[in-house]
Structure 1
């Protein structure tokens, strides 16, 4: 079947529409984050940091233990905002609702773009870097929307998730590849199975990395607040994030969900390699870095499950795994030549 250039062009138009709509969503999330009350934290965290008091008097002016600002406090006098329970303003909620609406609309444009690209080329739409990047960004967006269904109170954190998605959409434009048939080496049903598993896992792990970055900011804020330090880099951001324990748990659960999918993708790739090249594993650069990322994420889950590692040590392992996966995604595909050099950029 010949390439349908008309449908391919329409898919690219939908990509442009999705990118623009995601940009509007980011503006909406920024508006809710900027204009909303920090008291939203009390709704998204099981516990809040005890706010430092001077001479036994709370920041609201009452004596500690008698209406003072502490765990679960409803005082609004703290300069830190970690324990406030004020609701966001109507304006901030409107920003948030608009952001979610734009995210959903953008996801629909995005999904249509990927699906129509597949119809135009008469194959699965992830045969080169342009298409694969679009799929990863789509999975990350759907993962975020799925999170909102379960935990709508986290809506104001959309800025930190959708910004990486928007970056991926712009990068997809730099990776643009004209609609074409697959090279012979990729003409296998394993392309649908192997690459879809990897793309799904990487999209979900992108969400985990964003949550982990937020955890590190919040954790630093909590430590400095406990020491009575209220200023510093990211202090304003840290005061508005959920409790570090909640973010740590969310990052762990996200990796725990994505890791089996990523493992399956690596196994499927090995099976495909045996069918295509007569060996399951050959330490090709792509295979090697996929294995490095897998080992790091396995170390992260093992440390959490057996050694009880939490906090910054676990967070840095998580981010290192994402860095290895990102290196494999960009540098290996673009710079390093190997048996998996099918980025379609040349």
Structure 2
């Protein structure tokens, strides 16, 4: 089927605009992060609880004005609004790419990374909706922008039909599950990284790391965020491995052949399983479990870039020019 070049150009324009709006959202979140009040230490909280409140008693007939919203909160709300606009443009670029090619828009690495980043942003809008966690966008958007920049430059591929091996009804099923799990794992990996940073900062509160950590949510909140997002993505990732095996049997006549892509996917699944086990094991549930979770995300990125771009195998469908 011929490619609609006009829709393809609009798709690229929408992608580039979305990238610029994401950058604007990041600037707003960075401004919010620098303006947010430093989180008080445990000793300060105990002292504040023991000190009587200095708030004057209410008088009959007195009009009490509601407290004004902090400047950091305003910046954060603007950042979320801009982020939603960027996500709409982002999704619009994928829809236009699909309409231009008359297929699902995840037939090469450019399209897959684009879809994965969009799902990661959507997942972040859900799990980071609380004001206390909103400051994490400062760090969550950085890997998204890096991945989108790589996708739009190094990985970019012109709109075209997919190779014959991918012309299967399994493509949207298998790749969509991979994209959802990978996008959620991105949020989980960022949360575990910041969890380790906060723990380090709490040990050295007077250092630069310590002052940075005091602007972030407490370590337990970050640990819970990493665990809950992994709990959601892990079964999807396992389903992706199973669905890939079924597709492999239909295409190549075998369920498993220890292809590099299959092998590293299985290794990443084992690492995430080890993280969930460590998270529930005394003595492992803090820093050790967080490092395992980060290792799982690194394995996922290795599987996406190194295996697709460097190692030759049956799954070499990067679509690079």
Same-fold call, TM cutoff 0.5: yes
Q: Is the 8 A contact 2:15 2:90 kept in 1?
A: yes
Matches of 2:68 and 2:202 in 1, distance apart?
22
* 1:13 aligned partner: 13
Q: Is the 8 A contact 1:107 1:141 kept in 2?
A: yes
Matches of 1:258 and 1:73 in 2, distance apart?
40
1:93-120 Cα deviation digits (max 9, x unpaired): 2221221111000000001111111111
The counterpart of 1:177, out of the listed 157, 168, 172, is 157
1:34-93 Cα deviation digits (max 9, x unpaired): 12212xx4xxxxxx7434xxxxxxxxxxxxxxxxx3448369xxxxxxxxxxx9973322
Q: Is 1:284 aligned to 2:259, yes or no? A: yes
Distance apart, 1:235 and its partner CA: 2.1
Structure 1 307/190 Cα, relative in aligned 2: closer, same or farther at 3 Å?
Answer: farther
Most deviating of 152-161 and 175-184: 152-161
* 1:155 aligned partner: 134
* 1:94 aligned partner: 74
Matches of 2:121 and 2:252 in 1, distance apart?
35
The DSSP-based 3-state class of the residue aligned with 1:73 is: helix
1:200-235 Cα deviation digits (max 9, x unpaired): 10000000011111101101112234xxxx22x422
Q: Is 1:166 aligned to 2:145, yes or no? A: yes
* Corresponding pairs, count: 305
Matches within 5 A, 1:158-307: 158-174=137-153, 175-225=155-205, 230-231=206-207, 233-307=208-282
Structure 1 223/169 Cα, relative in aligned 2: closer, same or farther at 3 Å?
Answer: same
Q: Is the 8 A contact 1:198 1:265 kept in 2?
A: yes
The DSSP-based 3-state class of the residue aligned with 1:234 is: helix
Matches of 2:83 and 2:294 in 1, distance apart?
25
Give me the TM-score of the superposition, normalised by structure 2: 0.90
* 1:345 aligned partner: 320
Structure 2 gaps, min length 5: 51-66
The counterpart of 2:303, out of the listed 306, 321, 328, is 328
Matches of 2:146 and 2:47 in 1, distance apart?
37
Q: Is the 8 A contact 2:278 2:288 kept in 1?
A: no
The DSSP-based 3-state class of the residue aligned with 2:48 is: coil
Give me the TM-score of the superposition, normalised by structure 1: 0.84
